[in-house]
Structure 1
Amino acid sequence: MSRPVALVTGASSGIGRATVLGLLDAGLVVHAAARRTDRMRDLADAGAHVLAMDVTDDASMVDGAAAVLESGRLDVLVNNAGYGSFGALEDVPADEARRQVEVNVLGLARLTQLVLPAMRTARSGRVVNVSSVGGTIYEPLGSWYHATKFAVEGLSDSLRVELRPFGVDVVLVQPGPVRTEWNRIARENLLTVSAGSPYARQAASVARVLERADRPGAGAEPEEVAATVVRAATAARPRTRYPVGRGARTLMLARRALPDRAFDAVLERVYLR
C-alpha cells in the first residue's frame, strides 16, 4: 500500500468528521473511529473505513488498532476523541471526573501506546493530538476539563522528545471556541450538575459565555480546525503547536503576558458578571 494511512478518533461528528473528509481529500487512506458507527455512514460513502471504537474500553482499542495495522502501516494517528466536563470541583461526581480523565487523557495515551511499535519499527509516523487553548488557559468551573488538557500538553511534549530518535513526530493542535455539539453538551451538563448548588449562579454565567461561541461569526467552524489538523498531519516539517480559531492566539498570548492574578481578574469580569 503506497498511500499513507491515518486513524482518526472521535470521527462521528464535529472536528473529527471534518478531519476524516479533509484527509481523504488529501489522498490518505483513512480509518474513522468512534462509538457511534451509525453516524458515520456518509464517511463510509466518502471512502473512509469505519471502525467502532470506545476510548474508555481497552479491548475496543486493542481490536481497533489491530484492524488498522492489518494493512501493514499507520502513518498518522489523530487523537481527537474528547469532551468537556464542566462544573465546580465540589459538585462533579468522582465517577464523572474519572471518565473525563479516561476519555481525554488515558484513552489518548493508550491508543498511542498501541500503535507506536508499528511506527517505531517503520521509523516513521506522526501523532496529532487535538488539545485546546484550554491546555494553556483556564476557566472557572472547568477544573477537570482543563486538568485533562494541561495533561495532554505535557504528555505530548514529553512524547515528542522521546520519539524523535525513532523518526516519529508529535504535534499539538489547539482550537479555540468551535461551533460543534461539544459546546452545547458541555454547557447543558454544567447547568445540570450545578442545579441547586452554591455554584448555580456562576454556572449560569459561565454557560452564557460558552453559548456565545455558537453564535454566527463567533466560534470557528469544524472545517477550519480540520484544515489545520490536516496540515499538521501532512506537513514535511510540522510545527510543534498549531493554535487555530478566532481568538486562540490572543488568549494564549494574554495568558503568557499577564500575571496569574491579573488573568484571574480578566476571567472574573468575563465569566462571572
Structure 2
Amino acid sequence: MKKFNKTIILLILLIFVILQISECSKKPVGVARKEDIPYIKCQVCEKLAFQVFQQVQAKQAEISPKKISEYQIIEISENVCNLKKQEADWILKIDIVEQGDRLELVEQDSEGQCNSECKTIERACQEVMGYSDTDVAEYLYKNKPQVDSLVKFLCKDLTGACSKNPPKVPKDRTPGEPFVSKSSKEAEMDKILKSMEGMPGAPGMKMYSREDLMNMKNFGDEDADEEEDEDDTQFPSNLGKVLREKENKKSDWKQRITKGILDAGETVKNHANKVSHRIRQWWKKKKAVLKKKSSNAKKSEL
C-alpha cells in the first residue's frame, strides 16, 4: 500500500508540474556589466539583425503557404532581446572573449549558463532595439530585405549602433567569467519553463523552479524508471490495471486542459500585440502632427 501511495503521489505531482510550471530560479542571477556595452554594442546589433531575419524566415516557412503577418514579425522583434522568451535563446550561445584591446562575441555550439556576460548581451540588445521593434517589423514586412540590408538599416540608419568604431578596452578591465555549457537536462528544463511563460492562471499556482524539477525523483532518469517498473510488478494484477486506466484518463485530461490554456493564451497575446501596434502607430502619427504644428507656429512667429 505504501508503494502504491508513492506511485500515485508521483503521478499527480508530474501532472501538476506540467500544468503549473513557472520560472522561479533559485540560482544567483547574473548582473549586466553596463560598462562593457560600448565595446560590444555594434556586434550585438549585427547578431540581433541576423536573428530577427532568420526567425522571420523560419516562421514564414512554418506557416507556409500562409503569409507571415506584421503582428507576427512584431512579436519576434519584441521578444528577441528578452531572455525569458525563446526568441532570445541565441544570447545563451554567445561568449564574450577578450582579444587584446577589444571584446569579441564568439558563438558556441551549445547554450551556456546565464551569468553576467549573458545579461550584458541582453542589456546591450535591449538598448539597441529600444522602441524600434515596430520600425524593424514594418521594414521587414514591407521591403522584404536581405540580411545585409537589414543590418545596415538597424545598426546604422535607425540606431547608429555601428556608426563609429568601438572604444578600446582598458588594460585594467576585470575579465568576464568563463563560458560554462548547460547540461542537456538543464537546457530541457529551461525550454519547458519558457514555453509555459505567461500562461493564464500561473501567478496563483504553486511555483516550481528548474532546480525543483531536476531534483524530482525519476525525472529524466531511465534507470530509476526501470526500478519503478520492477516495483510495479509486485502489485496485484488488478491493481496495476486500475492504475494504468487512471494514468490514461489523467493524461487525456491533462492534454485537453493544456491545449485549452495554450490556445487561450495565444489568442490573448495576439490581441495584445494588435492593440500595442495600433497604439504605437497612433502615437507616431500624433508626434508627427505635433511636430508639424510646432514648426508652423515658429514660422508664424518669425
Q: Which category of TM-score, normalised to the shorter sequence, fits these structures?
A: under 0.3
Structure number with higher helix proportion: 2
Q: Max radius of gyration: which structure? A: 2
TM-score of the pair, normalised by structure 1: 0.25
Per residue, is there more strand in 1 or in 2?
1
Tell me: higher relative CO, structure 1 or 2? Use CA pairs within 8 A at least 6 residues apart: 2
| TM-score of the superposed pair, with normalisation by structure 2 | 0.24
